[in-house]
């Protein structure tokens, strides 16, 4: 589905990503783990078009994404849920959800997806008229994911969905992420919480200083001695 | 009684300050940049309206007045889009203050251009160019209170514009997109909103509103001049600082407030004192509530 080759990208003169190769197949849940500053967020921002790569390829089903604007990439079904939740705090929960479907004109399906999102996260249904800024961190993360789903994604990219959220809610969020995958959405997840990310994923990549240092099936990486020392702290 | 009359006039005329300040704050909200050419946009639009009115003999035709108004609004949108193209687009990745300088330069160029035009074009006059309108001498009494027809028309038109703007921002898809870009441009892009298109939309709308204000002010004064805009920009700065930058509703209310203060001061003390009083109030607000009176309300945006 997504094919990334020799990707070099960053801000200014110093590339954050150095020759990254990565592949995501239809229906997979792929995790990218690595410490702060490894280039995980830049990877997602490059795929979603917020960062223009200086060289290399990003293609989706053979189509070049590097020349498209972010809104065009969203229209292709690639939806990026950014780090730190980034819900629109001055809008209601409902408005946040509806704006997630900004690119869509199939009103009936949007309405169905709205009901489905609230089914997945009942708390959002209860808070539907509230300003998003009044939600707790965990609720905002749920809203951010639900908003991403409103875009009818083929590929959903999640940046640090567990960051700064109470452990009990993190488990709940990971459960929902698996449900989303089961519903047929391909997922690329970036996480510092490597244990949880590997447990949830089909395949994974370890990123350090902008380069892929390990990759393979997630359970193989969980057992890999190097990965365990470097990323799991075991 | 006379003070009440001044206050009413100020309130009615203050609606134009609200319009100017709203346009200015809308552009700031979306681009996070000041458009110093906003006043010059208003001035050019006012000239466009005046020109239509002069050429078509607008002294006693309401139809011509409406045409002049439409002309001003369209001129405002066009000038605004040109300002964006010249002063903002090339500097998208430059320092935040760069468009401040380029838009100020555009404002100076437009002022000089119209100063020159008023000397060359026969239908314009050097100091003040006439803006003929049937509202010029219209007035009536409410009880003992004398009210100028032009002010009442201004007030009603301004309220209609503000109501439309409020509806647009809060109840349409494009309004939702504008509010998203206002809060977080990157996230807006990730939601599939083309930030550049929103910029164009907002520049056109804000400048069209400035154009409407230019026409209304020209009609109220009965004249236009090349420096009409720079004075108004200063007043709308005061409105914005009072309101809290980014608050559309605050800009509406504070525009009216500033209108009242100005007119009452000019009427009861002297017209030279009005700016002084305005800035004393500004100073007091900055000391007591530096984020502006409506800064809290801005975050709820109702």
Q: Do B180 and A99 touch (CB under 8 A)?
A: yes
Report the residue of chain B nearest A79, measured CA to CA. Answer: B190
Please report the pLDDT score of residue B292 as a whole number: 83
As a whole number of Å, the CA-based R_g of chain A is 17
Tell me the average confidence (pLDDT) per consecutive run of 10 residues in chain A, 234 residues long: 94 88 96 92 96 95 95 96 91 95 93 93 95 94 96 96 90 94 96 91 94 94 86 74
> What are the CA-CA distances from residue A7 to residues A22, A52, A57, B146, B200 (Å)?
9, 10, 6, 73, 33
SS3 content of chain A, % helix, strand, coil (to 5): 40, 25, 35
Q: Do B191 and A99 touch (CB under 8 A)?
A: yes
Between strands A2-11 and A14-24, the pairing is: antiparallel
Task: Name residues whose C-beta falls within 8 Å of residue A165's C-beta, 6 or more positions apart in sequence.
Answer: A137, A138, A141, A173
Please report the pLDDT score of residue A11 as a whole number: 82
Please report the pLDDT score of residue B296 as a whole number: 58
Element (H, E) at B47: helix B38-55
Please report the pLDDT score of residue B286 as a whole number: 87
Element (H, E) at A171: helix A167-182
Helix B38-55 to helix B195-221 angle (10° resolution) is: 50
Interface size A-B, in CB pairs within 8 Å, comes to 62
- What is the least distance, in Å, from the CA of B175 to any CA of chain A? 11
Please report the pLDDT score of residue A164 as a whole number: 86
Please report the pLDDT score of residue B12 as a whole number: 95
Rounded to an integer, what distance in angstroms lies between the CA atom of residue B88 and that of residue B91?
5
Please report the pLDDT score of residue B127 as a whole number: 81
Rounded to an integer, what distance in angstroms lies between the CA atom of residue B218 and that of residue A92?
40
pTM of structure: 0.90
Element (H, E) at A15: strand A14-24
Residues in chain B closer than 8 A to A88 (CB atoms): 179-180, 183-184, 187
pLDDT in tens, B177-198: 999 999 999 999 999 999 999 9
- Confidence band for B248, pLDDT divided at 50, 70 and 90: confident
Please report the pLDDT score of residue B126 as a whole number: 85
Judge whether residue B302 has pLDDT over 50.
no
Q: Do B176 and A95 touch (CB under 8 A)?
A: yes
Please report the pLDDT score of residue B301 as a whole number: 38
Q: Do A88 and B186 touch (CB under 8 A)?
A: no
The closest alpha carbon to B5, from B141, B190, B105, B147, belongs to: B147
Please report the pLDDT score of residue B299 as a whole number: 42
Please report the pLDDT score of residue B297 as a whole number: 44
Q: Which among B179, B181, B192 is the top mutation candidate for probing chain A, defined by the most A β-carbons within 10 Å of its own β-carbon?
A: B192
Mean pLDDT of B23-27: 94
Mean pLDDT (chain B, rounded): 91
Question: 């997806």: which residue's tokens?
Answer: A113
Judge whether residue B100 has pLDDT over 80.
yes
Element (H, E) at A200: helix A194-200
Please report the pLDDT score of residue B272 as a whole number: 86
The closest alpha carbon to A161, from A151, A169, A153, A152, belongs to: A169
The closest alpha carbon to B39, from B216, B198, B226, B204, belongs to: B226
Please report the pLDDT score of residue B298 as a whole number: 43
Rounded to an integer, what distance in angstroms lies between the CA atom of residue A172 and that of residue A84?
18
């Amino acid at each position: 589905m997504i094919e990334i080759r020799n990707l070099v990208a960053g801000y200014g003169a110093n590339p954050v990503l150095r020759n990254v190769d990565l592949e995501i197949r239809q229906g997979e849940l792929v995790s990218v783990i690595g410490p702060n500053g490894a280039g995980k967020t830049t990877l997602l921002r490059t795929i979603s078009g917020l960062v223009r790569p200086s060289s290399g390829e990003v293609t989706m089903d053979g189509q070049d994404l590097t020349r498209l604007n972010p809104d065009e990439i969203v229209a292709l079904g690639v939806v990026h849920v950014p780090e730190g939740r980034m819900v629109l705090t001055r809008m209601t929960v409902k408005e946040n959800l509806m704006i997630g479907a900004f690119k869509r004109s199939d009103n009936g399906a949007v309405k169905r997806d709205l009901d489905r999102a609230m089914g997945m996260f009942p708390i959002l249904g209860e808070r539907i008229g509230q300003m998003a800024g009044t939600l707790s961190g965990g609720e905002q993360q749920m809203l951010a994911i639900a908003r991403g789903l409103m875009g009818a994604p083929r590929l959903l990219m999640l940046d640090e969905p567990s960051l700064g959220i109470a452990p009990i809610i993190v488990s709940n969020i990971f459960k929902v992420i698996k449900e989303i995958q089961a519903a047929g959405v391909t997922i690329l997840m970036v996480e510092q919480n490597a244990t949880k990310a590997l447990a949830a994923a089909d395949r994974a990549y370890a990123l350090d200083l902008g380069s892929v240092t390990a990759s393979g099936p997630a359970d193989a990486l969980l057992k890999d001695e190097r990965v365990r020392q470097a990323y799991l702290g075991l | 009684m006379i003070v009440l009359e001044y206050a009413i006039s100020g309130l009615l005329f203050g609606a134009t300050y609200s319009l100017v300040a709203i346009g200015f704050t809308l552009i700031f909200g979306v681009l996070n940049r000041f458009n110093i050419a906003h006043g010059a946009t208003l001035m050019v639009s006012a000239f466009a309206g005046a020109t239509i009115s002069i050429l078509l003999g607008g002294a006693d035709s309401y139809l011509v007045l409406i045409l002049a108004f439409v002309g001003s609004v369209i001129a405002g949108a066009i000038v605004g889009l040109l300002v964006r193209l010249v002063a903002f687009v090339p500097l998208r990745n430059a320092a935040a203050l760069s468009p401040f300088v380029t838009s100020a330069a555009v404002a100076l160029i437009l002022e000089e251009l119209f100063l020159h035009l008023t000397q060359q074009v026969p239908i314009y006059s050097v100091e003040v160019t006439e803006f003929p309108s049937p509202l010029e001498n219209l007035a009536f009494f409410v009880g003992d209170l004398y009210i100028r027809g032009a002010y009442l028309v201004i007030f009603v038109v301004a309220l209609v514009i503000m109501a439309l703007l409020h509806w647009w921002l809060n109840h349409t898809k494009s309004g939702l997109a504008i509010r998203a870009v206002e809060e977080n441009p990157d996230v807006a892009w990730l939601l599939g909103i083309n930030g550049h298109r929103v910029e164009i939309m907002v520049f056109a709308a804000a400048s069209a509103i400035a154009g409407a204000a230019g026409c209304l002010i020209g009609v109220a004064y009965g004249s236009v001049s090349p420096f009409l805009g720079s004075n108004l920009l200063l007043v709308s700065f005061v409105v914005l600082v009072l309101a809290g930058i980014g608050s559309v509703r605050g800009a509406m209310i504070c525009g009216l407030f500033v209108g009242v203060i100005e007119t009452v001061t000019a009427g009861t003390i002297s017209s030279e004192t009005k700016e002084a009083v305005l800035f004393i109030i500004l100073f007091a607000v900055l000391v007591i509530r530096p984020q502006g009176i409506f800064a809290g309300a801005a975050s709820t945006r109702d």
